[in-house]
Amino acid sequence: MFRSPDGQNEPEATRNGQVNENNLFSEPANLNNSSPNQITDTATLTQPEMVPSLANIELEPLEDLVVGPKEKHPRATNHKTVAPLERALLVGIGQNGDLFEVQDSLDELEQLCATAGLEVVGRTYQNIGQPHRSFLIGTGKVEELKKMARDLEADVVVFDRELTPTQTRELEEAFGIKLLDRTGIILDIFASRARTHEGRLQVELAQLEYRLPRLTRLWTHLSRQTGGGRGAGGVGVRGPGETQLEVDRRSSRARVAHLKRELENVHTHRELYRRRRKAEGVPVVSLVGYTNAGKSTLLNKLANSNVYAEDQLFATLDPTTRRVRLPNGREILLTDTVGFIQRLPTNLVEAFRSTLEEVNEADLLIHVLDFTHQNAQEQAETVDAVLKDLGAEDKPQIVALNKIDQYRGEEGGIVSPEELTQEFDLPEEYVPISAAKGIGMDLLLAKIEAALDKNLKEVETLIPYGKEELVALFHQKGFIEIEEHQETGTYLKGRIPPKFEPYYANYPVEKAS
Ligand SMILES: Nc1nc2c(ncn2[C@@H]2O[C@H](COP(=O)(O)OP(=O)(O)OP(=O)(O)O)[C@@H](O)[C@H]2O)c(=O)[nH]1
Ligand SMILES: [Mg+2]
């Protein structure tokens, strides 16, 4: 049985030297390690009929295609030194058909509030049948909440739902103190996390669109008063859009239009990157999953990198890509991006659509799931629903059941991935791992290899001498099993992405007659 309870063992991935030690900001790894110079002049290659010109395929190193925020550690949201924190009273809403139990959802909201820098001083909930148009909750509950907020000296009431602008206005007036909803909190966290230009634009757009219909005089007045030095306005009104609160709606709308245009430019740029990546033929593997599942920890383990990973919701916002070498020598681009959450705000999904839809470009998804979380099932369903919404539900997927180091077997010890696979009768595409301890990395890498190999074409070819560029191309893009220098040329047997197969069609292996 595999044991690594104390983390003393070297992580498997680094022990067996399978991972690439380079990352974006260190020495560039040379993609063209087989024979870089032989294929730079791609225009000289013979071009088979009906095959896109190789001259369009850029073969320069991938360094500039590997993107991500350059700061290792983002600024912390919760400035401990700044006092006092705003005191929050949380209100859960239970409705038939909800995926999460009301208390579980409140637990999550509490974590979100802590991440946003609020001090939670109380929580309550109401099961509602038909939502009240003005207050969402019943009028009796509104009175109860007013009293509770007064007794607890709360500065803010936080609803575990996205409230309509009318409900926000009515409730705010009823309570006389600041009112936030789940969406406001999530947007606030995103605002403090965005690092890249695109990320900042997207968050600002989502915030403006969310706030515009909610701008009230009371709100603006209160947001000027609160905050205690944590940035004008405090939680929920912080971020790139906060100055916009002071200007009139018309200029806010103009700003929205401007942001949309800017984002379009950024997206055109991103599209170019995408096309170049595709042309490179290096498979893209995307980490997806619920927030805090361990995606960044897994990226760090596999790519030996130092991406920010923390026990907080939405630690990662901007996508980061790192190069990883598989045991069979093949290189992949591994992408880590924003985590999902139940009731992901609509504005946010829209603003981040282009980032989120990157999963559609991936050759393979690794769905990282916190196997030990009490809501693992609900979280998995949420992720599946978001993937479906993005149109990525049919992508090949491996489910990495993470944090198994926290799982205890009958005898109280850590259970190996193999034993867990047996115990839970896990299907082929599931693999139990511990990203933090490096357990199950071999198995995961083997599954990634197998899944990607399914996309490759078997090729057997005899390349005449003088066409070395085709040999080099095979080395770079494919996976060689046999290479022999024969009398008339180089014999190659292996697998290659389908788009490169036609280049070898002109050079079949002569069959002995
Ligand atoms: N015990 C244990 N903790 C883990 C494991 N993997 C990740 N964690 C912890 O889980 C927390 C979240 O990890 P991250 O890698 O930041 O998770 P993420 O999925 O990137 O989260 P977001 O970026 O917030 O969406 C951190 O405190 C990690 O140390 C694991 O295998 N075992
Ligand atoms: Mg992360």
Using a 6 Å cutoff on CB, does residue 292 contact ligand 1? yes
Using a 6 Å cutoff on CB, does residue 296 contact ligand 1? yes
Ligand with the closest atom to the CA of 293? 1
Kindly state whether residues 153 and 294 are assigned to the same domain.
no
Using a 6 Å cutoff on CB, does residue 65 contact ligand 1? no
Using a 6 Å cutoff on CB, does residue 293 contact ligand 1? yes
Kindly state whether residues 443 and 335 are assigned to the same domain.
yes
> What is the number of structural domains in the chain?
3
Ligand with the closest atom to the CA of 302? 1
Distances (CA, A) of 431 to 25, 204, 393, 486: 30, 38, 19, 43
Residue 116 lies in a domain: yes
Ligand with the closest atom to the CA of 312? 1
- The residue to mutate among 292, 308, 336, 443, having the most atoms of ligand 1 within 8 angstroms of its beta carbon, is 292
Kindly state whether residues 450 and 460 are assigned to the same domain.
no
Distances (CA, A) of 223 to 10, 110, 219: 51, 22, 6
Residue 503 lies in a domain: yes
Q: Which atom of ligand 1 is nearest to the CA of 402?
A: 31
Kindly state whether residues 45 and 138 are assigned to the same domain.
no
Kindly state whether residues 434 and 463 are assigned to the same domain.
no
Residue 397 lies in a domain: yes
CA–centroid distance, 303 to ligand 2, in Å, is 14
Q: Quick one: tokens of 429?
A: 């595409």
Strands 331-336 and 479-485: unpaired
Q: Quick one: which of 228, 188, 181 has its CA closest to 79?
A: 228
Kindly state whether residues 40 and 184 are assigned to the same domain.
no
* Tens digit of pLDDT at every position of the chain (513 positions): 333 333 333 333 332 333 222 222 222 233 333 333 222 223 334 444 343 344 333 333 333 334 444 433 343 344 444 457 899 999 999 988 899 999 999 999 999 999 999 999 999 999 988 888 888 888 888 999 999 999 999 999 999 999 998 899 889 889 999 999 999 999 999 998 888 888 899 999 999 989 888 765 444 444 444 443 344 456 665 554 445 455 567 778 888 999 999 999 988 888 888 787 777 778 899 999 999 999 999 999 999 877 788 888 888 888 888 999 999 888 899 999 899 999 988 888 888 887 888 888 898 999 999 999 999 999 999 999 999 998 888 889 999 999 999 998 888 888 999 999 999 999 999 999 999 999 999 999 999 999 998 878 899 999 999 999 999 988 877 878 899 999 999 999 998 888 889 999 999 997 654
CA–centroid distance, 315 to ligand 2, in Å, is 5
Supply the residue whose CA is at minimum distance from atom 16 of ligand 1. Answer: 309
Residue 10 lies in a domain: no
Q: Which atom of ligand 1 is nearest to the CA of 297?
A: 15
Residue 269 lies in a domain: no
Q: Quick one: which of 145, 183, 139 has its CA closest to 161?
A: 183
Contact yes or no for 471/463 (Cβ under 8 A): yes
220: containing domain? 86-255
Supply the residue whose CA is at minimum distance from atom 27 of ligand 1. Answer: 311
Residue 115 lies in a domain: yes
Residue 267 lies in a domain: no
Q: How many angstroms from the chain centroid is the CA of residue 195?
A: 14
Q: What is the CATH number of the domain that holds 187?
A: 3.40.50.11060
Strand blocks (E) in 199-328:
284-289, 320-325
CA–centroid distance, 339 to ligand 1, in Å, is 11
Residue 159 lies in a domain: yes
